[in-house]
A and B are shown apart, each in its own frame.
Chain A
Amino acid sequence: MLIKKTLTTVALLASLLGASAAFAHAHLKSSTPAADSTVAAPSDLRLTFTEGVEATFTKVSLSKDGTEVAIKGLETPDADKKVLVVTPAAPLATGTYNVEWHAVSVDTHKSEGSYSFKVGQ
């Protein structure tokens, strides 16, 4: 019993001490289009978080020069739920877009942030 316990702990220690620093609460790691970039009209926005997010309760609002742009859907296609795909209802016209996100992570914590990008000719 004790030996088994010791072995388990040693195995855990060994594997976990190697794990890279992680951040509870989802933070935005990267996005496509990237923040402050100018791009050709994308068909969707991809937000990559540091941990999985619950698409059902995560909110993203997209606005162009201050006016709200309709969004068709939010989903996390990957098993680890780290990439949030935001599909606008209509193709994005030229202009400056602001993305405001309120994420609920898989460990139930909330976080939020915003960034903007430009759609050029």
Chain B
Amino acid sequence: MADLLVLCRFLHFIVVLLMFGACVFRPWLLGAEPQPLLDRQLKAITRGLAWLALGSGVTWLLLITASMAGDWSAALRWPTVQLVLGKTFFGQVWTWHLLLNLLLVFGLMTPWTALRLPLSALLLATLAPVGHGAMLDGLNGQLLILNQVVHLVCVGAWLGGLLLLVLILRQPARFALEPVLKRFSGVGYGLVTGLLVTGLINVRVLTGQLWPTPLFSGFALILLIKVILVGAMLALALFNRLRIKHCEQRLGTLKVSVVLEGLLGIAAVAAVSLLGTLPPMVMAGQN
């Protein structure tokens, strides 16, 4: 049950992050003018992601229901699912989350594009309160959730931006690559700063330490793996930034490194999906 929940969490997070990032980077990188081919591809991808998000979101709810009730069959008993939705903090957040997801799925069926970004942003924001974000109460709890929103926005924008970049690199003749890449890396500095700072705040608050110990077990180990993955992403980004001049001539390397950076990002999200289910601190004698 726990393994499935980790998998479902991962799938849902990655899909929602990518959707938001692709929506937010489209006008940043290419301006408002329409790009028929790219926009068509992007819409098809977003549509697929929105359905996937809905599916994984509902599965997440069912798995949480089974987990809370301690019984697999509870996942399919509507009264129990209703109890989760109505009576628990997770359920109250999730009701809104699934509603937004449904709206986004319908919104993507219409030619109306204005609602896409706000809906995907709200969808991402409603992911922040579930998991360890709900741990503290009062003002500190709300700040921790806000911190998590900023973190998710930075991560999502970065990953979704990479997805968009891959689409752009697949049709290099249509775009002037250098300004697009410069814009991407310019925004990237802000995103990386944002995600590092908010990530560190998260670690400090969740573990009560600047870095959790012991270093090579449980929460700390997976956190370490995640940080190494993000470090590798940063190194790749820096490598590409330094060689931005005449990038048209080494399109192959660029494409590979962007895809690799994206895969590292996906791996980092996978690590964090596992983190979300582990206790940041184990108190002696209690479990």
Contacts and interface: CB of A to CB of B under 8 A. Distances in A.
Interface of A: 2, 5, 8-9, 12-13, 15-17, 19-25, 27-28, 51-52, 54-57, 59, 80-82, 102, 104-113
B115 interface: no
Interface in B86-123: 87-90
Given A106-B134, A112-B287, A25 B67 contact: no
A16 B204 contact: yes
The 6 closest A-B pairs by CB, nearest first: A21-B208, A107-B134, A57-B68, A80-B137, A56-B87, A106-B89
Nearest to B2: A110
B169 interface: no
Interface stretch (B140-148, B170-178, B223-231): B140-148
A82 B137 CA distance: 10
Contact of A23 (B130, B138, B146, B281): B281
A54 B87 contact: yes
A25 B279 contact: yes
Given A12-B147, A16-B204, A25-B279, A107 B133 contact: yes
Given A9-B198, A16-B201, A19-B205, A24 B68 contact: no
A13 B197 contact: yes
Contact of A102 (B70, B133, B138, B147): B70
B194 interface: yes
B283 interface: yes
Contacts of B215: none
Given A21-B281, A107-B89, 15 more contacts: A9-B198, A9-B201, A13-B197, A16-B144, A19-B205, A21-B209, A22-B208, A25-B279, A27-B286, A51-B137, A81-B89, A107-B135, A108-B68, A109-B279, A111-B287
A6 B190 CA distance: 10
A22 B64 contact: no
Given A16-B201, A23-B280, A113 B287 contact: yes
Given A108-B90, A110-B67, A22 B197 contact: no
B235 interface: no
Given A23-B279, A27-B283, A8 B150 contact: yes
Interface in B208-242: 208-209
B208 A106 contact: no
Contacts of A107: 89-90, 130-135
B136 interface: yes
B76 interface: no
A13 B198 CA distance: 9
Contacts of B277: 109
Contact of B140 (A19, A104, A105): A19
27 contacts: A5-B150, A5-B190, A8-B150, A9-B201, A12-B198, A12-B201, A13-B197, A16-B140, A17-B204, A20-B208, A21-B208, A21-B281, A24-B281, A27-B283, A27-B286, A54-B68, A54-B87, A82-B137, A106-B88, A107-B89, A107-B131, A107-B134, A107-B135, A108-B134, A109-B277, A112-B287, A113-B286
Contacts of A19: 136, 140, 205
A104 to B, nearest CB: 5
Contacts of A22: 135-136, 205-206, 208
